[in-house]
Each structure stands twice: as C-alpha cells, then as structure tokens.
Amino acid sequence: MKKKLILATNSFPYDTGEQAFIAPELMRLRETYDITVISHADAEQMKRGYVAEQYLKGLQILCFPRPVLTTLDKLKALFSYLGSTDGRQEIREIAKTRQYMAQRFYQSLSFYAQALEDQKELKAKGVLSKDEPVIYYSFWNTYYCYSMIREKKRYSNIRVISRLHGFDLYHERVPGNRQPLKHQMETGSDGLIFLGSYARAYYQKHVQGDASGKIQTHVCPLGTERPGRLMPRQKGEEWQLLSCSDLIPLKRVERIIDGLAEVQKIKIHWTHIGGGSEAQKIQVYAAQRLACKENIRYSFAGRMEHHQVLQYYETNQVDCFITTSSTEGVPVSIMEAMSYGIPIIGTGVGGIPEMIQGNGILLSKDPSAQEVGDALTTVCSMNEQETDTFKGKSYELWKKTYEIQAAVGKLIDILEETGKVV
C-alpha cells in the first residue's frame, strides 16, 4: 500500500502557469505515493478548467478556494491573533524592527486570517485522520502551509515539508519587506526545501529564527523533462535570441532592449515569449529604441502555454537564451533552455549564478545597457569551437543537476527522511 501524500498548491491542477513547475514532479511522485492535491485556485483560475487528463490520473482533487476576507472575517481573526502565542510573537517581532509597523501588522493579520479559513476547510472536508501516516508537501511556503502547521498540533501522524521559491522567501518580494509568521511556520515544520544554495543561505541569514539547527533544510531544485533534441548550430548570418518571462517590472525586459540597441553590425532576431501588465509599454519601448537598428529584428510572441513553449524549442532555432530579471529563484525557463544545449546570458541574482558555469555569461545584478550589449556581442561573435563548448556545458549541467528523474529521486529521499512517521 502506498504512503499518503497531500500536495498543497496555489492553483494546480487548474490550467495555469503552475503546471510547468508541478506536473513533471507529480508524474513521478504518484508512482510512490497515494496523492491528494489540495488546490487553492481562485474563482478566475477555476474558470480555466483542469489541465490535461494525463496529469490527473490516480489523483484525488480537492479545492479550497483562496479566501476572500470580509471585514468581519478580519475582525474575528484579530481577536484570535491577539490571543494566540503566534500572534503575540509576531507583534513583538514587528515592534522590534520599528519599520513599516502598520503595514507589517496588517499583512501578518491577513495571512493569519487566510490560514484560519483554510484550517476550517481542512476540518470540514475531513482531510485528515489519525489512522495513517501522512506527508503534507506544501509546494509554496504560504498561508495554507501555516494552516496545516496549526492543524498538525492535533495529529501526531502528520509531517509537514514545504518548498520555498521567491515570493514566499525573499523579504523584498512582499509589502513591508517582511515575510509574515515565518518563525512560527519554521518551528512547526519538519523540513524546508530550497531551489538552490543561494536561497537556503538567504533564508539562514535573513529569515531563520530560533529553530536554527533543529529544522532540516535541503537544497533540491525543480527539474525538467529530457528534450526531443539538442539545438543545432547557428544557421545563416542572423543569431536567434530568446527570452521567456512575464512582462512585469521585476523581469526588466527593457534591459534586453537596451542591450540590443548597443549591438553593432551583428544581426540578431530577438523573440520574447510571455505577456503581462507591461506588455504594451515594453512593445512601445522596443519600437522606440530599436527603430534605427537595421541589424536587429524582434518579435513578441505573447503568452504561451507550457507545452507551446516546449514545442517552440522543438521547431525553432534558438542560439542564445537571455534574462535580465532583478530577482529570481532557480528559473525553470533557464533549465529548459539548458536542456536543449543553449548558451545562457543572465543576471547575477537568486540562483542564476549556480546555473551559469562555463555555459554562458553571468551579468552583474544590475547590468547597464553596455554590459548587456557586450555580452550579446561576445556570444554572437564566438567561433564554432567556443560555441560548442558553451552548448555542451549547458546540456551537461542540466543533465547533472536539473534532469527531472534525478531531481525527483532526490525529492523522494528528502520526503522519506523528513516525513517519516513512527
């Protein structure tokens, strides 16, 4: 009989961008575990319907919609918050910082209130019992992980293991520059999983509380599937440059445009996959900055589903992948490019430095237009031997570290080690 694993997600298995992160892992985890997926999709995400049937086989699906809190909900939560050990600890910690105190208190209270609503769902749906060991694997370290940590106090047969990515880890990614209730969540967790060494070091320096040395922390990146091909050598005179991200401020796609404006003579066709709030602004900016660049062409391909992105790699030439993001975890977009043997240009933020080791060019954290342009010029000016070295190292690093089979094998070892119930 398989062990029971509860996988808590933001929106999966609804057809959202989360599929790219979760599906490759889930397809293999279900060979070892009896899995219940608890999705916290909101109403708009639910309208998109489920992902392809192949991902749902053998799963029990529950949906606890992300709580929409009323003023009364928050008022009720306030009394519970003020009367709880966790709430009082939060207030003391917030008061010590003497920064953004009102904002941090409100954010912490809202997080707490969402957890209370999620905890009600856990009880109402009868998700837990004391009859069998359960591993609760929270894909994000957010409010529903905290709700299970609260609920776990009534069950000796549950172990909670959580991943941490970006918005749920870095202080600068949330209002008030402080992650709420992290020390309370740490104390109640059995293990934490980070995408890379940088992320774990950040946690240990900036987030970790008094549980240091007691909580098990692990580095286990996500993984991607083996591609259908390795990218062939560059064809013709024009280099094919690809970027893939949401068009939002923190991705700084305008830096790519600024870099392209600095490139002289070399012919480059840049394609960007992705949409977002900055789409129109970025397209206007590209038209202005690159209008006089006869050696530069560009295309905005818009938002694509994950399978469409992979199909793009299978059917199009890509000679270099670039990201100029201001913050990252360990981007799946870079993993996928590496799996095709594509050289990488990326900023020195988050886990990207761990992904560029002789297979591309690592930019500074905040690169100038000239720095980006110089990197593009370097990659596009390499001879065949130099290019083949970058391509080979990209693929080998992916195979060693980010190939899905190896990544999931490591994850299962972690789940078994930290989730063992006796």
* Residue range 6-47, pLDDT digits in tens: 999 999 999 888 988 999 999 999 999 999 999 999 999 999
Pick 418 or 334 by higher pLDDT: 334
Which residue has 């060991």 as its token pair? 133
| Alpha carbon distance 32, 23 (integer Å) | 15
Q: Quick check: 420 pLDDT over 70?
A: no
Of the pLDDT bands very low, low, confident and very high (cuts 50, 70, 90), residue 209 is confident
DSSP-based helix, strand, coil % in the chain, nearest 5: 45, 15, 35
| Stretch 295-299: mean pLDDT | 97
- Domain coordinates in residue numbering, the chain: 3-223+404-418, 239-401
- SS3 track for 28-83: HHCCCEEEEEEECCCHHHHCCCECCHHHCCCCEEEECCCCCCCHHHHHHHHHHHHH
Tokens 């060494």, residue located: 197
> Around Cβ 209, how many Cβ atoms within 10 Å?
14
Give the tens place of pLDDT for each residue, 165-201. Answer: 999 999 988 989 999 999 999 999 999 999 999 999 9
Percent of the chain with pLDDT over 70: 98
CA 249 to mean position of chain CA atoms = 17
What is the Cα Rg of the chain in Å? 23
Torsion, Cα of 394, 398, 400, 405 (10° steps): -160
Alpha-carbon separation of residue 344 from 140, 273, 318, 322, 392 (angstroms): 27, 16, 11, 6, 12
Residue entry with tokens 């774990």: 200
Greatest Cα pair distance, the chain, in angstroms, is 70
Report the C-alpha gap between 179 and 320 in whole angstroms.
36
Residue 213 pLDDT: 62
Q: What does the pLDDT read at residue 419?
A: 47
Q: Which class in CATH covers the domain with range 239-401?
A: alpha beta
> Phi/psi zone of residue 193: left (φ > 0), alpha (ψ -120 to 50 degrees), beta?
beta
Angle formed at CA 355 by CA 349 and CA 358, multiple of 5 degrees: 115
Question: What is the average per-residue pLDDT within 319-346?
Answer: 95
DSSP run (H or E) holding 219: strand 216-219
Q: In the structure, what pLDDT confidence band is assigned to residue 1 with cuts at 50, 70 and 90?
A: confident
Q: Give CA 310 to chain center in angstroms.
A: 18
Q: What is the dihedral of CA 244, 246, 247, 250, to 10 degrees?
A: -100
Strand partners of residue 322: 345
CATH number 3.40.50.2000 given to 3-223+404-418: yes
pLDDT of residue 212: 57
Q: Which of 173, 145, 138 is nearest to 329 (CA)?
A: 173
- Residue 294's alpha-carbon distances to 238, 259, 297, in angstroms, are 12, 15, 8
Read off the pLDDT band of 211 (50, 70, 90): low
Is residue 166 within 8 Å of 195, Cβ to Cβ?
A: no
In terms of C-beta density within 10 A (0-12 exposed, 13-18 middle, 19 or more buried), how is residue 317 classed? middle
More reliable by pLDDT, 377 or 214 = 377
The model's confidence at residue 422, banded by pLDDT at 50, 70 and 90, is very low
Asked if residues 383 and 390 have their Cβ atoms less than 8 Å apart, the reply is: no
Question: Can you name the residues that pair with 297 across neighbouring β-strands?
Answer: 269
Handedness of CA 258, 259, 262, 266 (dihedral sign): negative
d(CA 261, CA 286): 9
**In 98-228, where does DSSP find H-type helix?**
101-124, 143-152, 182-188, 197-202
On average, the pLDDT of the chain sits at 93
Please give the Cα distance from 17 to 23 (Å, whole number). 11
Task: For the beta carbon of residue 388, count every other beta carbon within 10 angstroms.
Answer: 13
Is pLDDT above 70 for 421? no
DSSP 226: P
**What is the distance, to the nearest Å, from the Cα of residue 149 to the centroid of all Cα atoms in its chain?**
22
pLDDT digits (tens, 9 = 90+) for 37-78: 999 999 999 998 888 888 899 999 999 999 999 888 889 999
DSSP class of residue 275 equals -
Whether residue 157 contacts residue 133, with contact meaning beta carbons closer than 8 Å, is answered with yes
Kindly state the average pLDDT of the residues 140-157.
95
For tokens 């089979």, name the residue. 405
User: What is the percent of the chain with per-residue pLDDT over 90, rounded to a whole number?
Assistant: 83
